[in-house]
Amino acid sequence: MEGKRNVRICCLCNERRASLKRPKTLQQICTECFYLAFENEIHQIILSNRLFSRGDRVAIGASGGKDSTVLAYVLSKLNRVHDYGLHLFLLSVDEGITGYRDDSLETVHRNQIQYGLPLKIVSYKDLYGWTMDEIVKLIGLKNNCTFCGVFRRQALDRGAAFLKVDKLVTGHNADDIAETILLNILRGDIARLSRCSSIVTGEDGPIPRCKPFKYTYEKEIVMYAYFKKLDYFSTECIYSPNAYRGFAREFIKDLERIRPRAILDIIKSGENFRISTTTKMHEQGTCERCGYISSQWVLIDDQSSSGDGGGSTRCCSSAWWMFTVTVPEALRSISHVCSGGGQNQEKNKEKGGSLHGCIHGKEDEEMKVVFIDKGKRFSAVQSH
């Protein structure tokens, strides 16, 4: 960082000219050393956390964006160089968003050829019978991200199950994780706070997910993609980026400017938080209908009688959507669904018996309760 102004020789190899300042350490280094340091760090993370075992089938959640593109590139390279013995696949979700996902999937298709990885695309249309475009038409732009996130989580699980993979890796980077830790503190979500900093999650679920980029800075990923001239898609989703998240994002960027190490320090704090075991955690379990893990429950009252009990089935809300209704129909025809949540149920009654179910948010998203009533009104409020 200091000195060597006139020379500018890479401070790692001491041979080549330094052409970049490494965001994480502010060292002035050459691109070759940067590639090496970048890849090596991820290799070390994979080894020290024992993310994979030889022979594993691993799906890479590929959106066509920078993170997943770099992840696919680096992982296939490391697999080759260090002989991990992994079978890699690209797995994409098509939410059905015209002007965004169709374009980004083009990128994934190109990556499939460039990296020689088999690709599987699962679409909302096939899985659930509707596209996000249709949903947005119905519910408007508010809260659709949460909604979409919930279904993407399960779509990825289903795609992974189809590919019969042992693990699913996602491109969440250090900035994402630091941001999630802060957001969970800000909104008081202690249960998620305790989970969000783990490198492997969902070990008790059908397919464990891991984040090899947990300690990798977003800036370095962008830099890597830039110097390697990787082919990625950089447009944001047309259906509103989450404003609240953006706020925390900006704060992280400000911190990084003052102290690059702050991002790693936040993750370290997240790992070191000791959360009281007596703290009430969200109930996690397996849905009675679809078999997927869920932290929020919906009671489906099959007899259409009022209140809880009776012939109701406990299941995760995604299953509720999928098995009981398809969304456009739900708005028209469902007669009665009530949730297991006592407080919400009370509120619900006050509102004149409107229908209501809990959906479980994607791991990093805010929890929402979806209200649906006979008057075909559809909206969401934050719960907990």
Partner 1 sequence: MACNGSGGGCQSGCYKDEETTCGQPTASSETDSKSSSNLCLKCKLNDVVSGYGGIDDGRFCADCFRSNLFGKFRLAVTSNAMISPTDRVLVAFSGGPSSRVALQFVHDMQERAHKNFEASRDRSLPVFGVGVVFIDESVVFPIPSHEMEEAVEAISLIVSSLAPPRKEFHFVPIETVYSSDSSDGKERLLELMNVVSDPTGREDMLLSLRMLALQKVASEFGYNRIVLGSCISRIAAHVISATVKGQGYSLPADIQYVDARWEIPVVLPLRDCFIQEINMFCRLDSLKTVKLSTGPSSSINSLVSSFVALLQEENPSRESTIVRTAGKLIPFQFNRIPEIIDGNVPLATRRRQKRYNLKSNESVSSESFCPLCNSPLDKSEIVDWSNLKNCRSSDTFYTSCCSSCQFQILPPDSTSMEKFYMDLPHSVVARSNQVNNGKLNALRYVFPFLVKEQIQDCLLSDGEDET
Residues that bind partner 1 (CB under 8 A): 138-140, 142, 181-182, 184-190, 193, 247, 251, 254-255, 258-259, 261-262, 264-266, 268-276, 278-279, 331, 351-352, 354, 371, 373, 375-382
Cβ–Cβ < 8 Å for 208, 66:
no
Question: Which amino acid is present at 152?
Answer: R
Q: Residue 349 Cβ, how far from partner 1 at the closest point, in Å?
A: 12
The position carrying tokens 């949730």 is 339
User: Rounded to 10 degrees, what is the CA torsion of 143, 338, 336, 331?
Assistant: 0
Q: Of 47 and 381, which has the nearer Cβ to partner 1?
A: 381
Q: How far is the CB of 45 from partner 1 (least distance, A)?
A: 16
Q: How far apart are the first and last CA of the chain?
A: 46
Residue 126 C-beta-side C-alpha neighbours within 13 Å: 11
Nearer to partner 1 among residue 94 and residue 366 (C-beta): 366
| Nearer CB in complex with partner 1: 167/356 | 356
Alpha helices in 16-143 (DSSP H): 31-48, 66-81, 101-115, 124-128, 132-139
CB of 18 to partner 1, least distance (A): 21
As measured in angstroms, the least distance from the Cβ of 239 to partner 1 is 13
Q: Which is nearer to partner 1, 228 or 268 (CB)?
A: 268
**Considering the complex, what minimum distance in angstroms separates the CB of residue 210 from partner 1?**
21
162 vs 244, beta carbon nearer partner 1: 244
Q: Running DSSP on this structure, what letter comes out for residue 348? A: H
Residue keyed to tokens 């996902």: 101
Q: Closest Cα to residue 122, out of 101, 149, 92, 151?
A: 92
Q: Minimum distance from CB of 354 to partner 1 (Å)?
A: 6
Place of tokens 């719960």: 383
Closer of 149 and 171 to partner 1 (Cβ): 149
CB contact set of 176 (below 8 Å; sequence gap of 6+)? 218, 364
Q: Cβ(165)–Cβ(128) under 8 Å?
A: no
**Helical (H) or strand (E) element with 190:** helix 190-195
Nearer to partner 1, 80 or 376 (CB): 376
Question: For helices 101-115 and 66-81, what crossing angle results, to 10°?
Answer: 10
Cβ closest to partner 1, residue 6 vs residue 276: 276
Distance of closest approach, residue 32 Cβ to partner 1, in angstroms: 27
Is residue 242 classed exposed, middle or buried when 0-12, 13-18 and 19+ CB atoms within 10 A define those classes?
middle
Across 57-70, b (16+ Cβ under 10 Å) vs e yields: ebbbbbbbbbbbbb
| Choice between 22 and 167, CB closer to partner 1 | 22
For the bound state, the minimum distance from the C-beta of residue 80 to partner 1, rounded and expressed in Å, comes to 33
Which tokens sit at 120? 């599987």
Count Cβ atoms within 10 A of the Cβ of residue 116 and give its class: 0-12 exposed, 13-18 middle, 19 or more buried: exposed
- The nearest distance, CB 114 to partner 1, in angstroms, is 38
Task: Please state, in angstroms and rounded to a whole number, the distance separating the CA atoms of residues 168 and 227.
Answer: 27
| Nearest distance from C-beta of residue 99 to partner 1, angstroms | 21
In this complex, which beta carbon is closest to partner 1, that of residue 50 or of residue 274?
274
